[in-house]
Amino acid sequence: MVKARSAEQLVSDFWERVGFQEPFPRSLERAITIAAPVFVVKVHRHRLDTGYIRAWLRKRDVCLPTPWKERRLRGCLVAFRGEAAIFLDGTLGPQESRVIIAHEFGHYLAEYEWPRCRACRRLGESVLDVLDGDRAPTPQEQMAAVLADVQLGVYVHYMDRLNDSAVAALVAHVEGTAEIVAAELLAPRAAILAEMRSASMDYFACVRSLETQFGLPLPYAEWYARRLLGQAAQKKSFSELLGF
Amino acid sequence: MNPEDLENLHASVFRQTGEDPKWLGYWIDRFVRSENLSRDELAEQLGIRADALVLLCLCRTPRVDHFQEDINVVCERTGARDEAVARILRQEQALTKWREGRSATTAGWLLAASDRDDDSPASGPSEEPDDGQGEER
Protein backbone atom coordinates (compact mmCIF):
# COMPACT_ATOMS: atom_id res chain seq x y z
CA MET A 1 0.00 0.00 0.00
CA VAL A 2 1.42 3.39 -0.98
CA LYS A 3 2.34 5.45 2.04
CA ALA A 4 0.28 8.48 2.97
CA ARG A 5 3.12 10.78 2.05
CA SER A 6 3.22 9.50 -1.52
CA ALA A 7 -0.54 10.03 -1.83
CA GLU A 8 -0.12 13.59 -0.59
CA GLN A 9 2.57 14.23 -3.20
CA LEU A 10 0.46 12.77 -6.02
CA VAL A 11 -2.50 14.93 -5.05
CA SER A 12 -0.38 18.02 -4.45
CA ASP A 13 1.12 17.67 -7.93
CA PHE A 14 -2.38 17.32 -9.38
CA TRP A 15 -3.73 20.49 -7.75
CA GLU A 16 -0.63 22.36 -8.89
CA ARG A 17 -1.52 21.38 -12.46
CA VAL A 18 -5.14 22.41 -11.94
CA GLY A 19 -3.97 25.85 -10.85
CA PHE A 20 -6.67 26.31 -8.24
CA GLN A 21 -7.91 24.45 -5.20
CA GLU A 22 -11.53 23.46 -5.55
CA PRO A 23 -13.53 24.53 -2.50
CA PHE A 24 -15.13 21.88 -0.29
CA PRO A 25 -17.16 19.78 -0.71
CA ARG A 26 -15.42 18.82 -3.96
CA SER A 27 -16.94 17.15 -7.00
CA LEU A 28 -13.57 16.99 -8.81
CA GLU A 29 -15.07 16.60 -12.29
CA ARG A 30 -14.13 20.02 -13.61
CA ALA A 31 -10.62 19.91 -12.16
CA ILE A 32 -10.02 16.40 -13.49
CA THR A 33 -11.24 17.12 -17.02
CA ILE A 34 -9.29 20.34 -17.35
CA ALA A 35 -6.00 19.17 -15.83
CA ALA A 36 -5.81 15.50 -16.88
CA PRO A 37 -6.59 13.56 -20.08
CA VAL A 38 -9.59 12.01 -18.33
CA PHE A 39 -13.33 12.33 -18.99
CA VAL A 40 -16.31 11.26 -16.89
CA VAL A 41 -19.33 9.39 -18.30
CA LYS A 42 -22.36 9.43 -15.99
CA VAL A 43 -24.84 6.69 -16.76
CA HIS A 44 -28.38 7.66 -15.80
CA ARG A 45 -30.95 5.84 -17.89
CA HIS A 46 -29.28 2.45 -17.92
CA ARG A 47 -27.62 0.47 -15.20
CA LEU A 48 -23.87 0.64 -15.16
CA ASP A 49 -22.34 -2.75 -15.61
CA THR A 50 -19.43 -4.27 -17.48
CA GLY A 51 -21.62 -5.00 -20.49
CA TYR A 52 -22.70 -1.34 -20.72
CA ILE A 53 -19.09 -0.15 -20.78
CA ARG A 54 -18.18 -2.63 -23.48
CA ALA A 55 -21.22 -1.61 -25.56
CA TRP A 56 -20.54 2.11 -25.03
CA LEU A 57 -17.01 1.70 -26.38
CA ARG A 58 -18.02 -0.66 -29.18
CA LYS A 59 -20.61 1.87 -30.40
CA ARG A 60 -17.71 4.32 -30.72
CA ASP A 61 -15.62 1.75 -32.60
CA VAL A 62 -13.34 0.90 -29.71
CA CYS A 63 -12.85 -2.78 -29.05
CA LEU A 64 -12.01 -3.48 -25.43
CA PRO A 65 -11.06 -7.04 -24.56
CA THR A 66 -12.93 -7.80 -21.36
CA PRO A 67 -12.07 -11.09 -19.76
CA TRP A 68 -13.69 -10.12 -16.48
CA LYS A 69 -16.80 -11.48 -14.82
CA GLU A 70 -19.96 -9.60 -15.73
CA ARG A 71 -21.34 -7.56 -12.85
CA ARG A 72 -22.88 -4.27 -11.82
CA LEU A 73 -20.66 -1.36 -10.95
CA ARG A 74 -20.72 1.94 -9.13
CA GLY A 75 -17.70 3.22 -11.04
CA CYS A 76 -15.03 2.07 -13.45
CA LEU A 77 -11.74 3.42 -14.75
CA VAL A 78 -10.62 2.56 -18.28
CA ALA A 79 -7.17 3.83 -19.28
CA PHE A 80 -5.18 3.27 -22.46
CA ARG A 81 -2.53 5.15 -24.45
CA GLY A 82 -2.30 7.97 -21.92
CA GLU A 83 -6.05 8.72 -21.88
CA ALA A 84 -8.72 7.59 -19.45
CA ALA A 85 -12.46 7.46 -18.87
CA ILE A 86 -14.30 7.20 -15.57
CA PHE A 87 -17.72 5.61 -15.87
CA LEU A 88 -20.05 6.50 -13.01
CA ASP A 89 -23.42 5.14 -11.93
CA GLY A 90 -25.45 8.33 -12.33
CA THR A 91 -28.10 7.17 -9.87
CA LEU A 92 -25.73 7.57 -6.93
CA GLY A 93 -26.20 10.59 -4.67
CA PRO A 94 -23.67 13.45 -4.64
CA GLN A 95 -21.78 12.14 -1.58
CA GLU A 96 -21.21 8.69 -2.99
CA SER A 97 -20.56 10.04 -6.50
CA ARG A 98 -17.69 12.21 -5.32
CA VAL A 99 -16.13 9.30 -3.47
CA ILE A 100 -16.40 6.99 -6.50
CA ILE A 101 -14.96 9.60 -8.89
CA ALA A 102 -12.12 10.30 -6.44
CA HIS A 103 -11.46 6.59 -6.04
CA GLU A 104 -11.28 5.88 -9.77
CA PHE A 105 -9.15 8.98 -10.33
CA GLY A 106 -6.94 7.78 -7.49
CA HIS A 107 -6.34 4.62 -9.54
CA TYR A 108 -5.46 6.80 -12.52
CA LEU A 109 -2.94 8.93 -10.62
CA ALA A 110 -1.28 6.14 -8.65
CA GLU A 111 -1.43 3.14 -11.01
CA TYR A 112 -1.36 4.72 -14.44
CA GLU A 113 -0.12 8.27 -14.81
CA TRP A 114 2.64 8.28 -12.20
CA PRO A 115 4.28 4.97 -13.24
CA ARG A 116 4.01 6.04 -16.88
CA CYS A 117 5.64 9.44 -16.27
CA ARG A 118 8.32 7.85 -14.14
CA ALA A 119 9.15 5.29 -16.82
CA CYS A 120 9.36 8.03 -19.48
CA ARG A 121 11.62 10.18 -17.32
CA ARG A 122 14.02 7.33 -16.66
CA LEU A 123 13.93 5.41 -19.93
CA GLY A 124 12.74 7.90 -22.55
CA GLU A 125 9.45 8.24 -24.40
CA SER A 126 10.14 5.22 -26.59
CA VAL A 127 9.17 3.09 -23.59
CA LEU A 128 5.54 4.14 -24.13
CA ASP A 129 5.27 1.60 -26.96
CA VAL A 130 6.07 -1.10 -24.42
CA LEU A 131 3.70 0.24 -21.79
CA ASP A 132 0.91 0.49 -24.38
CA GLY A 133 1.41 -3.14 -25.34
CA ASP A 134 2.54 -2.37 -28.91
CA ARG A 135 5.80 -4.28 -28.61
CA ALA A 136 7.94 -6.22 -26.22
CA PRO A 137 10.86 -4.44 -24.51
CA THR A 138 14.29 -4.85 -26.07
CA PRO A 139 16.99 -6.53 -23.97
CA GLN A 140 18.60 -3.10 -23.54
CA GLU A 141 15.34 -1.66 -22.27
CA GLN A 142 14.88 -4.55 -19.88
CA MET A 143 18.36 -4.00 -18.47
CA ALA A 144 17.82 -0.24 -18.25
CA ALA A 145 14.51 -0.80 -16.50
CA VAL A 146 16.13 -2.99 -13.86
CA LEU A 147 18.85 -0.42 -13.25
CA ALA A 148 16.35 2.45 -13.14
CA ASP A 149 13.95 0.53 -10.89
CA VAL A 150 11.14 0.79 -13.44
CA GLN A 151 8.59 -1.93 -14.05
CA LEU A 152 7.99 -2.61 -17.74
CA GLY A 153 5.16 -5.04 -17.36
CA VAL A 154 2.12 -3.95 -19.30
CA TYR A 155 -0.79 -2.65 -17.29
CA VAL A 156 -3.14 -5.17 -15.87
CA HIS A 157 -6.74 -5.07 -14.98
CA TYR A 158 -7.80 -5.05 -11.39
CA MET A 159 -11.28 -6.27 -12.02
CA ASP A 160 -10.69 -9.90 -11.27
CA ARG A 161 -12.49 -11.11 -8.19
CA LEU A 162 -11.00 -14.57 -8.39
CA ASN A 163 -10.12 -16.77 -5.48
CA ASP A 164 -6.45 -16.69 -6.41
CA SER A 165 -4.77 -15.33 -3.29
CA ALA A 166 -1.94 -13.65 -5.18
CA VAL A 167 -4.37 -11.79 -7.43
CA ALA A 168 -6.59 -10.94 -4.48
CA ALA A 169 -3.62 -9.50 -2.58
CA LEU A 170 -2.60 -7.37 -5.55
CA VAL A 171 -6.14 -6.10 -6.07
CA ALA A 172 -6.46 -5.32 -2.36
CA HIS A 173 -3.20 -3.38 -2.43
CA VAL A 174 -4.24 -1.38 -5.46
CA GLU A 175 -7.70 -0.68 -4.05
CA GLY A 176 -6.16 0.46 -0.77
CA THR A 177 -3.89 2.85 -2.61
CA ALA A 178 -6.81 4.33 -4.54
CA GLU A 179 -8.74 4.79 -1.28
CA ILE A 180 -5.88 6.77 0.27
CA VAL A 181 -5.41 8.98 -2.78
CA ALA A 182 -9.18 9.52 -3.01
CA ALA A 183 -9.37 10.59 0.61
CA GLU A 184 -6.53 13.04 0.06
CA LEU A 185 -8.28 14.50 -3.00
CA LEU A 186 -11.55 15.07 -1.15
CA ALA A 187 -10.34 15.91 2.36
CA PRO A 188 -6.62 16.68 2.64
CA ARG A 189 -5.08 14.85 5.56
CA ALA A 190 -2.78 17.67 6.73
CA ALA A 191 -5.61 20.20 6.93
CA ILE A 192 -7.88 17.88 8.84
CA LEU A 193 -5.18 16.76 11.26
CA ALA A 194 -4.38 20.39 12.00
CA GLU A 195 -8.05 21.13 12.63
CA MET A 196 -8.38 18.05 14.81
CA ARG A 197 -5.47 19.11 16.98
CA SER A 198 -6.42 22.77 17.24
CA ALA A 199 -10.07 22.04 18.03
CA SER A 200 -9.30 18.91 20.06
CA MET A 201 -11.79 17.03 17.93
CA ASP A 202 -12.81 13.59 19.02
CA TYR A 203 -13.87 10.80 16.68
CA PHE A 204 -17.50 11.86 16.46
CA ALA A 205 -16.67 15.51 15.78
CA CYS A 206 -14.24 14.42 13.09
CA VAL A 207 -16.89 12.25 11.42
CA ARG A 208 -19.38 15.14 11.52
CA SER A 209 -16.86 17.50 9.98
CA LEU A 210 -16.00 15.03 7.21
CA GLU A 211 -19.70 14.60 6.45
CA THR A 212 -20.78 18.23 6.54
CA GLN A 213 -17.73 20.19 5.41
CA PHE A 214 -16.22 17.68 3.00
CA GLY A 215 -19.42 15.98 1.82
CA LEU A 216 -18.34 12.42 2.53
CA PRO A 217 -20.91 9.65 3.05
CA LEU A 218 -21.11 8.37 6.62
CA PRO A 219 -19.36 4.99 6.22
CA TYR A 220 -16.50 6.64 4.35
CA ALA A 221 -16.28 9.45 6.91
CA GLU A 222 -16.12 6.90 9.71
CA TRP A 223 -13.32 4.95 7.99
CA TYR A 224 -11.33 8.09 7.30
CA ALA A 225 -11.82 9.47 10.81
CA ARG A 226 -10.50 6.22 12.31
CA ARG A 227 -7.49 6.38 10.02
CA LEU A 228 -6.78 10.03 10.79
CA LEU A 229 -7.15 9.58 14.52
CA GLY A 230 -4.71 6.71 14.39
CA GLN A 231 -2.20 8.88 12.55
CA ALA A 232 -2.78 11.83 14.89
CA ALA A 233 -2.17 9.61 17.92
CA GLN A 234 1.12 8.41 16.47
CA LYS A 235 2.42 11.98 16.37
CA LYS A 236 1.60 12.72 19.97
CA SER A 237 4.33 12.82 22.55
CA PHE A 238 4.20 10.37 25.43
CA SER A 239 2.99 13.16 27.74
CA GLU A 240 0.21 14.06 25.34
CA LEU A 241 -0.91 10.47 25.12
CA LEU A 242 -1.17 10.47 28.89
CA GLY A 243 -3.44 13.49 28.68
CA PHE A 244 -0.99 16.21 29.77
CA MET B 1 -26.41 38.79 -45.65
CA ASN B 2 -29.83 37.16 -45.88
CA PRO B 3 -30.73 34.26 -43.55
CA GLU B 4 -30.34 31.61 -46.25
CA ASP B 5 -26.85 32.77 -47.14
CA LEU B 6 -25.95 32.88 -43.46
CA GLU B 7 -27.21 29.36 -42.98
CA ASN B 8 -25.19 28.17 -45.96
CA LEU B 9 -22.11 29.89 -44.61
CA HIS B 10 -22.56 28.24 -41.22
CA ALA B 11 -23.03 24.85 -42.87
CA SER B 12 -19.81 25.38 -44.79
CA VAL B 13 -17.95 26.25 -41.60
CA PHE B 14 -19.23 23.15 -39.84
CA ARG B 15 -18.29 20.98 -42.81
CA GLN B 16 -14.79 22.37 -43.33
CA THR B 17 -13.77 22.59 -39.67
CA GLY B 18 -15.22 19.12 -39.18
CA GLU B 19 -12.64 17.68 -41.55
CA ASP B 20 -9.46 18.99 -39.94
CA PRO B 21 -8.36 18.08 -36.39
CA LYS B 22 -6.60 21.42 -35.95
CA TRP B 23 -10.03 23.02 -35.52
CA LEU B 24 -12.30 22.56 -32.54
CA GLY B 25 -15.09 21.92 -35.05
CA TYR B 26 -13.50 18.56 -35.87
CA TRP B 27 -13.84 17.28 -32.31
CA ILE B 28 -17.28 18.80 -31.90
CA ASP B 29 -18.44 17.04 -35.06
CA ARG B 30 -17.21 13.70 -33.74
CA PHE B 31 -18.81 14.28 -30.34
CA VAL B 32 -22.16 15.16 -31.88
CA ARG B 33 -22.07 11.98 -33.95
CA SER B 34 -21.00 9.67 -31.13
CA GLU B 35 -23.52 11.14 -28.67
CA ASN B 36 -26.27 11.52 -31.29
CA LEU B 37 -26.92 15.12 -30.27
CA SER B 38 -28.63 17.91 -32.14
CA ARG B 39 -26.85 21.25 -32.42
CA ASP B 40 -29.39 22.74 -30.03
CA GLU B 41 -28.69 20.04 -27.43
CA LEU B 42 -24.96 20.54 -27.84
CA ALA B 43 -25.29 24.30 -27.48
CA GLU B 44 -27.29 23.81 -24.29
CA GLN B 45 -24.56 21.59 -22.83
CA LEU B 46 -21.97 24.20 -23.73
CA GLY B 47 -24.04 27.02 -22.28
CA ILE B 48 -24.18 29.03 -25.54
CA ARG B 49 -26.74 29.83 -28.24
CA ALA B 50 -26.90 27.45 -31.19
CA ASP B 51 -25.77 30.17 -33.59
CA ALA B 52 -22.60 30.68 -31.46
CA LEU B 53 -21.45 27.14 -32.26
CA VAL B 54 -19.92 28.43 -35.48
CA LEU B 55 -17.53 30.64 -33.57
CA LEU B 56 -16.55 27.73 -31.33
CA CYS B 57 -15.90 25.47 -34.31
CA LEU B 58 -13.59 28.09 -35.78
CA CYS B 59 -11.33 28.03 -32.71
CA ARG B 60 -8.07 26.18 -32.89
CA THR B 61 -7.86 22.87 -31.06
CA PRO B 62 -6.16 23.48 -27.68
CA ARG B 63 -2.57 22.36 -27.54
CA VAL B 64 -1.74 19.32 -25.44
CA ASP B 65 0.93 21.12 -23.42
CA HIS B 66 -1.14 24.32 -23.02
CA PHE B 67 -4.54 22.67 -22.71
CA GLN B 68 -5.96 24.63 -19.81
CA GLU B 69 -4.58 27.94 -21.02
CA ASP B 70 -6.00 27.44 -24.52
CA ILE B 71 -9.36 26.25 -23.20
CA ASN B 72 -9.60 29.44 -21.13
CA VAL B 73 -8.95 31.57 -24.21
CA VAL B 74 -11.55 29.68 -26.26
CA CYS B 75 -14.19 29.91 -23.57
CA GLU B 76 -13.52 33.55 -22.88
CA ARG B 77 -13.97 34.28 -26.59
CA THR B 78 -17.07 32.15 -27.14
CA GLY B 79 -18.78 32.10 -23.74
CA ALA B 80 -18.81 28.31 -23.67
CA ARG B 81 -18.43 26.42 -20.38
CA ASP B 82 -14.83 25.32 -19.97
CA GLU B 83 -15.72 21.99 -18.40
CA ALA B 84 -18.03 21.10 -21.28
CA VAL B 85 -15.49 22.03 -23.98
CA ALA B 86 -12.76 20.15 -22.13
CA ARG B 87 -14.98 17.10 -21.82
CA ILE B 88 -15.68 17.02 -25.57
CA LEU B 89 -11.98 17.20 -26.36
CA ARG B 90 -10.93 14.67 -23.75
CA GLN B 91 -13.52 12.13 -24.89
CA GLU B 92 -12.99 12.42 -28.63
CA GLN B 93 -9.19 12.59 -28.43
CA ALA B 94 -9.17 9.52 -26.18
CA LEU B 95 -11.49 7.57 -28.49
CA THR B 96 -9.34 8.51 -31.50
CA LYS B 97 -6.23 7.13 -29.80
CA TRP B 98 -8.03 4.02 -28.59
CA ARG B 99 -9.26 3.18 -32.09
CA GLU B 100 -5.66 3.21 -33.29
CA GLY B 101 -4.60 0.58 -30.80
CA ARG B 102 -6.65 -2.45 -31.64
CA SER B 103 -5.63 -5.48 -29.67
CA ALA B 104 -7.17 -8.83 -28.90
CA THR B 105 -5.67 -8.75 -25.41
CA THR B 106 -5.78 -6.32 -22.53
CA ALA B 107 -2.09 -5.48 -23.04
CA GLY B 108 -1.60 -1.76 -22.41
CA TRP B 109 -5.01 -1.23 -20.81
CA LEU B 110 -5.57 -0.43 -17.16
CA LEU B 111 -9.01 -1.35 -15.88
CA ALA B 112 -10.31 -0.95 -12.35
CA ALA B 113 -13.82 -0.89 -10.93
CA SER B 114 -15.91 -0.31 -7.83
CA ASP B 115 -18.46 -3.07 -7.60
CA ARG B 116 -22.09 -2.51 -6.75
CA ASP B 117 -22.94 -5.10 -4.14
CA ASP B 118 -26.58 -4.39 -3.44
CA ASP B 119 -27.95 -6.21 -6.48
CA SER B 120 -27.67 -9.71 -7.83
CA PRO B 121 -25.00 -10.17 -10.50
CA ALA B 122 -25.87 -8.96 -13.96
CA SER B 123 -27.81 -11.63 -15.82
CA GLY B 124 -26.52 -10.34 -19.10
CA PRO B 125 -24.94 -7.29 -20.65
CA SER B 126 -27.14 -4.23 -20.91
CA GLU B 127 -26.68 -2.81 -24.36
CA GLU B 128 -26.59 0.91 -24.99
CA PRO B 129 -29.59 1.81 -27.14
CA ASP B 130 -28.97 2.93 -30.68
CA ASP B 131 -30.32 6.42 -30.00
CA GLY B 132 -27.35 7.10 -27.75
CA GLN B 133 -29.57 8.12 -24.84
CA GLY B 134 -28.35 6.85 -21.54
CA GLU B 135 -25.90 9.28 -20.15
CA GLU B 136 -25.96 12.86 -19.10
CA ARG B 137 -23.07 15.18 -18.58
Q: pTM score, two decimals? A: 0.87
Residue ranges of chain A with per-residue pLDDT less than 70: 1-5, 66-67, 152-167, 232-244
**In the predicted structure, residue B124 carries a pLDDT above the cut 80:** no
Contacts with A79 from chain B: Cβ below 8 Å: 109-111
What torsion do the CA atoms of A71, A76, A81, A82 make, to the nearest 10 degrees? -170
Give the pLDDT of residue A67. Answer: 66
**In the predicted structure, residue B129 carries a pLDDT above the cut 60:** no
Q: Could you say which of B95, B107, B116 has the minimum Cβ distance to residue A133? A: B107
Measured between CA atoms, the residue of chain A closest to residue B121 is: A71
- DSSP codes, B76-103: HHH---HHHHHHHHHHHHHHHHHHH---
Give the pLDDT of residue B122. Answer: 38
A53-112: pLDDT as tens digits: 999 999 999 988 766 778 889 999 999 999 999 999 999 999 999 999 999 999 999 989
Average pLDDT over residues B119-127: 39
Tell if the CB–CB gap between B107 and A154 is shorter than 8 Å.
Answer: yes
Closest-CA residue to A119 (of A85, A82, A77, A171): A82
Closest-CA residue to B114 (of A183, A216, A231, A99): A99
- Cα→Cα distances B105→A6, A53, A77, Å: 31, 17, 17
For chain B, the first-to-last Cα distance in angstroms comes to 36
What torsion do the CA atoms of A181, A185, A190, A192 make, to the nearest 10 degrees? -120
Q: How confident is the model at residue B120 (pLDDT cuts 50, 70, 90)?
A: very low
Give the pLDDT of residue A90. Answer: 92
CB pairs A-B closer than 8 Å: 196
Residues 211-240, chain A, touching B (beta carbon < 8 A):
none
**ipTM of this predicted complex?**
0.86
B70-86: pLDDT as tens digits: 999 999 999 999 999 99
B59: left (phi over 0), alpha (psi -120 to 50) or beta: beta
- The residue of B109, B131, B133 whose CB has the most chain A CBs within 10 angstroms, and thus the best one to mutate to test that interface, is B109
Helix spans in A79-164 (H) = 94-107, 114-123, 128-131, 139-148
- The residue of B67, B135, B136, B137 whose CB has the most chain A CBs within 10 angstroms, and thus the best one to mutate to test that interface, is B135
Sign of CA dihedral B43, A21, A25, A185: positive
Average pLDDT score over chain A: 85
Does residue A53 sit in helix, strand or coil?
helix
What torsion do the CA atoms of B23, B28, B29, B34 make, to the nearest 10 degrees? 140
B11-50: pLDDT as tens digits: 999 999 999 999 999 999 999 999 999 999 999 999 999 8
B92-105: pLDDT as tens digits: 999 999 998 666 66
- Cα→Cα distances A143→A131, A134, A148, B83, Å: 16, 19, 9, 43
Residue B130 has φ and ψ, to the nearest 5°, of -65, -25
Cβ proximity of A150 and A119 under 8 Å: yes
**In the predicted structure, residue B121 carries a pLDDT above the cut 80:** no
Q: Worst-scoring range by mean pLDDT, A224-228, B35-39, B63-67, B131-135?
A: B131-135
- The residue of A28, A73, A80 whose CB has the most chain B CBs within 10 angstroms, and thus the best one to mutate to test that interface, is A80
Alpha carbons B82 and A7: distance in angstroms, whole number: 28
